[in-house]
């Protein structure tokens, strides 16, 4: 498929010190109905095998990875990052790839990470592609942590969107299988869905996210909507530079959250680079207010967005119409004014 090659050609992995973790910080999240501090750790690994083979159209993670990372390197990263723990009861572990890929995180390393974090935190969240998860791995993982959550980047439940927009070849079937395994072994499931992958109009993107949320709900404890942001060296960036892609409006994210309030799963969204030109944004004047409202909604501190308004909401509605009329997912404002 040509898309697969184009996505791959955009990537420029750089050389990094394999002994240094990528980043760590603390953010707010919800644990047992209460807002708590969550400790985010991003380990440096060889990265996602799918990113190296081809990769998702919006994902620039591969640019942060090191070519090879040994168990000794990862142990060094772990020892260094453990010193940064300040009592957060929840840890979120990312690797710019797949925690359950044995070639990326060796089984003994995986157990060591979970053991150390399980000693310090009540809940640990790890991320992986659904088709990589095996029973024996999960069985071993759940032994070290009181509450384990596995996050999967499902992105969309529409096979055509996965294939032609995201460039991902696993969908709801693989997700449902992995989710059933998690539930059987006592882990919970977090599902990531995209808002506005490339080549979709704003309206199509809203409908895709809402539909995907409902499809994924029976297999999810948490659904997190990720508005696409423009990362370096991705297909999305290439389109963005040509005015053929605009990250979603925050009003679109709000609509998705409003229309998935009926889900059984907890629904949230933390727009990366929200309010900035490369992230989900509105007119500039209302972005902070809308971002705060989305954050409050995600933490369970508000249930609707009825109090929000801005002059740009009319422009957003016109934008939805205009794209349909022009039969293009390109940015009409760029076409008309750019």
Q: Give the residues lining the site for ligand SF4 (CB under 6 A).
A: 48, 50-51, 55-56, 59, 61, 97, 129, 153
From the list Zn ion, ligand SF4, none, which binds 38 (C-beta under 5 to 8 Å, kind-based)? Answer: none
Contact segment (CB under 5 A) with Zn ion among 148-156, 179-187, 270-278, 306-314 equals: 306-314
The DSSP letter of residue 240 is H
Instruction: Considering the complex, state which of residue 185 and residue 308 has its C-beta at the smaller distance from Zn ion.
Output: 308
From the list Zn ion, ligand SF4, none, which binds 276 (C-beta under 5 to 8 Å, kind-based)? Answer: none
From the list Zn ion, ligand SF4, none, which binds 316 (C-beta under 5 to 8 Å, kind-based)? Answer: none
Instruction: Considering the complex, state which of residue 10 and residue 29 has its C-beta at the smaller distance from ligand SF4.
Output: 10
Question: Closest distance between ligand SF4 and the C-beta of residue 51, in Å?
Answer: 4
Alpha helices in 242-298 (DSSP H): 250-258, 287-298
Question: Closest distance between ligand SF4 and the C-beta of residue 241, in Å?
Answer: 20
Tokens of 279: 């992230």
Question: Closest distance between ligand SF4 and the C-beta of residue 132, in Å?
Answer: 10
Q: How far apart are CA 311 and CA 315, in angstroms?
A: 7
The DSSP letter of residue 132 is G
Question: Angle 134-63-292 (CA atoms, 0-180°, nearest 5)?
Answer: 85
From the list Zn ion, ligand SF4, none, which binds 310 (C-beta under 5 to 8 Å, kind-based)? Answer: Zn ion
Query: Any idea how long the chain is?
Result: 338
From the list ligand SF4, Zn ion, none, which binds 181 (C-beta under 5 to 8 Å, kind-based)? Answer: none
Q: How far apart are CA 102 and CA 57, in angstroms?
A: 24
Question: Closest distance between ligand SF4 and the C-beta of residue 168, in Å?
Answer: 6
Q: Kindly give, in sequence order, each residue whose CB lies less than 8 Å from that of residue 245, ignoring residues fewer than 6 positions away.
A: 198, 230, 236, 239, 329, 330, 331
The DSSP letter of residue 165 is I
Instruction: Considering the complex, state which of residue 137 and residue 282 has its C-beta at the smaller distance from Zn ion.
Output: 282
Instruction: Considering the complex, state which of residue 64 and residue 296 has its C-beta at the smaller distance from ligand SF4.
Output: 64
Using an 8 Å Cβ cutoff, are 189 and 176 in contact?
no
Using an 8 Å Cβ cutoff, are 162 and 168 in contact?
yes
Region 204-233 residues binding Zn ion, contact defined as CB under 5 A: none
Contact segment (CB under 5 A) with Zn ion among 1-9, 107-115, 277-285, 298-306 equals: 277-285
Helix, strand, coil abundance in the chain, percent, nearest 5: 40, 15, 40
User: Residues in the site for Zn ion, rule: CB under 5 A?
Assistant: 282-283, 285-286, 310, 312
């Amino acid at each position: 498929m040509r898309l697969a090659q184009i996505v791959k050609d955009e990537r420029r992995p750089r050389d990094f010190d394999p002994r240094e973790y990528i980043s760590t910080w603390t953010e707010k999240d919800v644990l047992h109905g209460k807002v708590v501090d969550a400790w985010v750790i991003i380990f440096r690994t060889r990265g996602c095998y799918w990113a190296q083979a081809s990769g998702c159209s919006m994902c620039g993670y591969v640019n942060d990875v090191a070519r090879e990372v040994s168990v000794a390197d990862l142990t060094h990263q772990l020892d260094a990052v453990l010193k940064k723990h300040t009592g957060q009861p929840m840890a979120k572990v990312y690797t710019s790839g797949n925690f359950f890929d044995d070639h990326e995180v060796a089984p003994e390393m995986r157990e060591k990470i979970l053991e150390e974090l399980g000693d310090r935190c009540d809940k640990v969240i790890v991320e992986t592609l659904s088709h990589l998860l095996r029973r024996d791995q999960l069985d071993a993982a759940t032994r070290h942590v009181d509450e384990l959550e596995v996050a999967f980047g499902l992105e969309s439940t529409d096979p055509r969107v996965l294939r032609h927009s995201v460039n991902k070849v696993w969908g709801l079937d693989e997700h449902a299988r992995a989710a059933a395994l998690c539930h059987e072994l006592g882990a919970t499931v977090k599902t990531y869905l995209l808002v506005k992958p490339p080549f979709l109009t704003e309206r199509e993107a809203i409908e895709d996210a809402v539909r995907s949320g409902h499809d994924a709900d029976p297999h999810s404890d948490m659904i997190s909507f990720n508005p696409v942001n423009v990362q370096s060296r991705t297909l999305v960036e290439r389109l963005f530079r040509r005015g053929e892609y605009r990250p979603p409006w925050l009003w679109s994210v709000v609509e998705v959250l409003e229309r998935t309030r009926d889900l059984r799963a907890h629904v949230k969204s933390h727009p990366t680079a929200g309010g900035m030109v490369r992230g989900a944004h509105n007119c500039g004047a209302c972005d902070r207010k809308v971002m705060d409202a989305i954050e409050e909604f995600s933490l369970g501190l508000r249930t609707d967005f009825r109090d929000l308004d801005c002059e740009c909401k009319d422009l957003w509605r016109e934008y939805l119409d205009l794209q349909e009329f022009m039969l293009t997912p390109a940015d009409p404002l760029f076409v008309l004014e750019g």
